[in-house]
Amino acid sequence: MPSIKPWFTILEPDEYLCMPWKNGLGETLEIHKHEDDQGLRYRISQAAVTDDGRFSDFSGLQRTLLLLRGQGMTLTLQEGSSVTQHELLQPLDQASFDGGTLTDARLHGGPIDDLNIMVRANDTLANVLSMTAPEICPILSEAALLCGFYALETATFAVTGDMTPSFVSVPKGGFIEFHGASPVQLNSGRGAWIMIEKGRLDSRT
């Protein structure tokens, strides 16, 4: 009798892979990563930022950054003579920007933790939603390469249909990956819903 694939996989914080920053000034907890013959296609990671400074150059990648903990930070992006700022002040505030843009971070009152989603800009999209229970989660799309949820605090989910178990709990700081397209509801907690899909950045317009 063939085995039935569970409708979810949970990663706990102690399972994340610790990796040095590209600029050597810190460390990243790597949650999920996929590479192919063209290199990195997407990566989800968590990092502690302790000082003001310049971000590493990730040209060719689109970044989405979410504040997890701390007093917040200001991101200043400079492209030629054009300067743009993003204020991340509350948990789950987010900013999306080109990883090759000159980017500086200024902390507000001490260290912060952030969640970083990077995707290859020429063929991959990241749709990232801040969610607070109770809330129905988006349906997994046919173009999805990965669909998951980072739990800012302990979270519980319910799925409709005949799958077992129909309820699951995700620990604070944990990540749940969903398999299949059954409707899922966030019953308690809050965090970031992340769907990584096939597509080009310019397909959003």
Contact 49, 26 (CB under 8 A): yes
5, two tokens? 């694939």
Could you count the other beta carbons within 10 Å of the beta carbon of residue 84?
Answer: 13
Supply the pLDDT for residue 36.
94
Say yes or no to pLDDT of 159 above 70: yes
User: Lowest-confidence range among 50-54, 140-144, 153-157?
Assistant: 140-144
Of 63, 29, 90, which is closest to residue 196 (Cα–Cα)?
Answer: 63
Q: 112-122 b/e with 16+ CB inside 10 Å = b?
A: bbbbbbbbbbe
- Is the pTM value of this prediction over 0.75? yes
Cα dist. 120→28, 114, 126, 185 in Å? 19, 20, 9, 29
pLDDT digits (tens, 9 = 90+) for 24-45: 666 789 999 999 999 999 999 9
What is the set of domains in the chain, with CATH numbers?
8-12+124-200 (2.60.120), 17-120 (2.60.120.10)
Mean local confidence (pLDDT), 109-115:
94
Torsion of CA 12, 17, 22, 26, to 10 degrees: 70
With a cut of 60, say whether residue 70 has pLDDT above it. yes
Rounded to an integer, the average pLDDT of 49-74 is 94
120 DSSP 8-state letter: E
Half-sphere exposure of residue 154: CA atoms within 13 angstroms, side-chain side: 3
The dihedral through the CA atoms of 16, 95, 89, 82 has a sign that is positive
